Amino acid sequence: MAGGPHDLSAELAFARELALRGADVVMGYFGAEGADYTVDDKAGQPVTNADRDSNELITRELAARFPDDAILAEETPVTDDLWRRNRRCWIVDPLDGTSDFVKGREGFAVMIGLLVDGRPALGAVAIPKAQRLFLGVVGDGAEEESGGERRTLTVSARARPEELRVIASIAHRDARLEEAIAVLSPAETFSVGSVGYKVGKICADEADLYLATTNHISLWDTCGPEAILVAAGGACIDLDGQPLDYGGPHLNLRRGLAATNGASAAEVAARLAGRFPILD
C-alpha cells in the first residue's frame, strides 16, 4: 500500500503500530481479574481507564513522531482550533464502542485517522477482541490483517436498497433509525458496536450500509473508518447526501451518517434526503 496520490506509507505504518499498541493497552484491562478498572460517566456515556491510557499512549507517540501535525483525540480536552487550521491533523478514538468493551462484547475498536486538507486520507482501525485490523489510504487501497494473513478489501456492488445488508447501532436504535430502515426496506439488518467495526464489515463485504440518525457520532468516530471505506471503494455521506464536514464548528455529525458501499450511495441519499431534521 504505497505510491498513491499522497505518499503516506510511513504514516500508515506508524498508525498501524499505534493502533495495535493501543489495542494491547485496552486488552490489558478487558476481562483482567484484579485490574484497576473503573467506569465513569462522561456526558451520559461510559469512559474507562482503558480509554484514557490508550489515548495517552497514542497521542504522545503521534506528537513525538509528527510534531508539526495537529491532533484531535476523544479523551484530550479541545482547547483551540489548531486541528481545523493545520493542513494535517490526526484524529484519534482510543476506544470506540466503550459500552461493548464494558459488557464484554467484541464490538470495540482503537481508531486512528489522518485528515489531509480537511479530508480523511488514512485510517487504521484495530478490533482487539476479534483480532482484526483494517487499514487504508485513500487512492491506494485498503486491506485487512487477521490471523497472520493480509487480504485486500473491496466493497460490494449492491446498489438497490432492497438488496442491502444494513448494519446499525446497538446503543442508538431509536425511532428515527427505525424510520430510515423502513424507508430503505433492506434485505437484512443486524447490529454491532463500534463505528469502526461497522465500517470495517462494509469494507470486508460483510455488510453494505451503516446508518446513524442521531447526533452522537463524532469526528473521531468517522475519520479513520471513512478513509478505509473510501480506499476500499465505498463512500460516507450524511443523511442529505452531502460529504461529512470535518471543518465546521461542531465536533459531532449533526446531519447523521450513511457509510455506504458506494454503489448504493445515490439511491440511499435520494430516499433519505429531507426526512431527518438537524438535531441540536
Total domains in the fold of the chain: 2
Could you tell me which of 203, 216, 170, 174 has the C-alpha nearest to residue 74? Answer: 216
- The whole-model pTM stands at 0.93
- Residues 198, 262 share a domain: yes
Least trusted range by pLDDT, from 10-19, 79-88, 116-125, 150-159 = 79-88
Position 278 in a domain:
no
pLDDT of residue 83: 80
51: domain range?
Answer: 9-152
- Residues 122, 29 share a domain: yes
Position 192 in a domain:
yes
Beta strands in the chain (DSSP E): 39-42, 45-48, 70-73, 88-96, 109-116, 119-127, 132-137, 141-146, 149-152, 165-169, 188-192, 209-212, 235-237, 257-260
3-state secondary structure the chain: CCCCCCCCHHHHHHHHHHHHHHHHHHHHHCCCCCCCCCEEEECCEEEEHHHHHHHHHHHHHHHHHCCCCEEEECCCCCCCCHHHHCCEEEEEEEEECHHHHHHCCCCCEEEEEEEECCEEEEEEEEECCCCEEEEEECCCEEEEEECCEEEECCCCCCCCHHHCEEEEECCCCCHHHHHHHHHHCCCEEEEECCHHHHHHHHHCCCCCEEEECCCCCEHHHHHHHHHHHHHCCCEEECCCCCECCCCCCCCECCCCEEEECCCCHHHHHHHHCCCCCCCC
Dist. CA 196–CA 142, nearest whole Å: 14
- Report whether pLDDT(36) > 70: no
- Report whether pLDDT(116) > 90: yes
- Report whether pLDDT(34) > 50: no
204-226: average pLDDT: 95
167-196: average pLDDT: 87
pLDDT of residue 38: 75
- Report whether pLDDT(180) > 70: yes
Position 266 in a domain:
yes
For residue 234, the Cα-to-chain-centroid distance in whole angstroms is: 13
CATH number of the domain encompassing residue 229: 3.40.190.80
Q: How far apart are the two ends of the chain, measured CA to CA in Å?
A: 40
- Report whether pLDDT(41) > 80: no
pLDDT of residue 3: 44
CATH number of the domain encompassing residue 28: 3.30.540.10
- Residues 64, 182 share a domain: no
Confidence of residue 187 (pLDDT cuts 50, 70, 90): very high
Dist. CA 21–CA 133, nearest whole Å: 12
Position 29 in a domain:
yes
pLDDT of residue 170: 67
Radius of gyration of the chain (CA): 17
Residue with cell 442521531: 214
Position 72 in a domain:
yes
Over residues 75-98, the pLDDT tens digits come to: 888 877 878 889 999 999 999 988
- Residues 87, 23 share a domain: yes
